[in-house]
Amino acid sequence: MVGTASSLHLHSDCAHDSPLQEHRCEARSGSRWKASELLKVTQELGTKTRSHLSSTDSVLFSPQIPKDPVQRRVQELTRLSKQLQRVHPNVLAKVLKQEAVYQNEEIVVINKPYGVPVHGGPGIKNCITDVLPILAKMLGNMKSEPLHLCHRLDKETTGVMVLARSKEAAEKIRLLFKTRQVEKIYWAISLGDPDPTEGIVDIPIVEKEVQSHQSHYKMTLAPNYRLSPEDGKVVKIRKNRDAESAVTRYRLLASSSACSLLELQPITGVKHQIRVHLAYGLGCPILGDHKYSHWSKLAPQKLPEITLKRLKLRQSKARHLPLHLHAYRLSLPLGKQIDLVCKPPLFFRKTLKKLELDIAED
């Protein structure tokens, strides 16, 4: 679809072709998709496409569903974290094609799924970078050049992601991000309520090694000021030369069950900025952020009893909770202002419902 409107609100849950329909693979091989691959995607994604399977197929390909609601929830969350690391790269490319929410002559915008890294690395089978050539052919034709990354999202972050059709377009868009001309809005479910409920966190961030029985590295705050222990006055301290300026606007949208739904606007783009500012700056770590819920240890996030009850989870299974951070909206000035909106993924919306975090629909 080529966009023509100057301001577009395009949602990720729009209708897609069924993955069980017959498609011709537009990769170099030119072969048809294997039915087994498509059935596997349908089974693992747990999406609406299950309705395209016959009742016999559902029995054959669906995992056994536990009767215990807690075990059922854990199974669902476990599948979520592994679903797209088990499929063939061509199948991942097809999933990303179905998640394309906008495209024109310069860009393709996708709603990035959970658990898919942008770049490869040790232990990573599938990443977005590796399938960009295949995705370009699926969206265009066999002669299409590979798509190009313009920015990145963390593996566990979902939502709006911009890809460019050419190197020139990619360089132009990267410059827009670098010069802070792109407005980015995220949604996050956090533990606790921020105080005040709306404001700006302006605290530099630096990476440090955590000395513990399991030494590891984390991003953390590097404030320019501290309170004097003698008289309680604010004292300016020497700036950490390795620290990067980090500024995040935040606003409370809803609050319930010892959790909050927050709207966040990162003004800068430091690694893990939103996660660090919420956890260490406001004392409200993101739900499912096991890395930044503690400082000196690597351990699952500790959840309040009311939150566990609403989520139908036990604390011993909290480690399975995914990070609830979603790139909700991105405003891109490309000649005209392109305003792109992606609804949160199903697991995020289910959590909102379970926690009774009500927000008015757009």
Q: What is the DSSP string of 220-280?
A: EE--SEEE-TTT--EEE-PPPTT-B--EEEEEEEEEETTEEEEEEEESS--TTHHHHIIII
Whether 29 has a pLDDT exceeding 80, the answer reads no
Q: What is the pLDDT of residues 110-168, one digit of tens each?
A: 999 999 999 998 888 889 999 999 999 999 877 789 999 999 999 999 999 999 999 99
pLDDT for 361 equals 57
Whether 267 has a pLDDT exceeding 60, the answer reads yes
Q: Is 214 exposed, middle or buried (0-12, 13-18, 19+ CB in 10 A)?
A: exposed
Whether 317 has a pLDDT exceeding 50, the answer reads yes
Would you place residue 67 in the very low, low, confident or very high pLDDT band (cuts 50, 70, 90)?
confident
C-alpha pair distances (Å), 358 with each of 57, 176, 195, 329: 36, 34, 20, 19
Q: What is the pLDDT of residues 192-229, one digit of tens each?
A: 999 999 999 999 999 999 987 778 899 999 999 888 88
Mean pLDDT of the chain: 83
Q: What are phi and psi of 165, to 5 degrees?
A: -85, -15
pLDDT for 154 equals 94
> Greater confidence, 337 or 230?
337
Whether 60 has a pLDDT exceeding 60, the answer reads no
Whether 286 has a pLDDT exceeding 90, the answer reads yes
Of 13, 57, 154, 202, the catalytic one is 154
Structure token pair of residue 105? 């002559």
> Stretch 89-99: mean pLDDT, rounded?
94
pLDDT for 158 equals 97
Q: Is 154 noted as a catalytic residue in this protein? A: yes
pLDDT for 231 equals 86
